[in-house]
Amino acid sequence: MGLRTGLSSGLRRGLRRGVGRWLRRLGERLDPQAVSEIGLGSRKLPALGELDAGPAAGDEAIPSVPWQGVRERALGKSLVTLRSEALYSLGALHAAHLAAAAVFDDRRLAAAIAQRSGETVSDETLTKLAEAASIWHRDSASLGMALTAVGSTQVPDMVLAEALQVDEQEAEALEAMTEGYQIELKRQILEEADS
């Protein structure tokens, strides 16, 4: 699956908008005065006279830091931010798989040409190269589908508790459920690492 077919135009548009919003918010946090130097007026940027009234991005809109667990991210980050992070992580993994699959395809082709030219290339080598290419292609296709699925999800730009308008008891239940999920995820990751 090619990169163009793996990422729909809607997903690419969504990524561009998300990156633009994130960069703008990051710029506002780092240097609010730089926004006034741009001289652009839009409904998303404060007017030059109202620059001080334009809030910097809140914690829910900035990227997660590496030490944050699933519970902290699920409850403390905007759902749009979580989706953007997932898209970038999946995109990087997808790109790595596409590149690896291409390398193994090239190696398979080189080995087959060498064998036809009379060089000694064992059938075992050809089989191993074919298996490796097949695995990278299969996983690349799965990641491409995951990218499309995540990119097409509709999420509000607010944290989960706000999106659901939970009361105090429901907020406690959300905490417990996400904590339980985090524990189970860690267990699965450890099991996979041991196998």
- Could you report the per-residue pLDDT of 153-193, keeping only the tens digit for each? 999 999 999 999 999 999 999 999 999 999 999 999 899 88
Comparing 14-23, 41-50, 169-178, the range with the smallest average pLDDT is 41-50
> Are residues 83 and 17 located together in one domain of the fold?
yes
Q: pLDDT confidence of 68, banded at 50, 70, 90?
A: confident
- The 10 Å CB-count burial string (b at 16+, else e) for 59-92 is ebbbeeeeeeeebebbbbbbbbbbbbbebeebbe
Read off the pLDDT of each residue in 126-135 and give the average, rounded to a whole number. 93
Comparing 45-54, 70-79, 109-118, the range with the smallest average pLDDT is 45-54
> Are residues 22 and 87 located together in one domain of the fold?
yes
CA–CA dist 45, 79 (Å, integer): 22
Total domains in the fold of the chain: 2
> Are residues 85 and 31 located together in one domain of the fold?
yes
> Are residues 67 and 48 located together in one domain of the fold?
yes
> Are residues 105 and 57 located together in one domain of the fold?
yes
> Are residues 87 and 112 located together in one domain of the fold?
yes
Domain around 109: 3-164
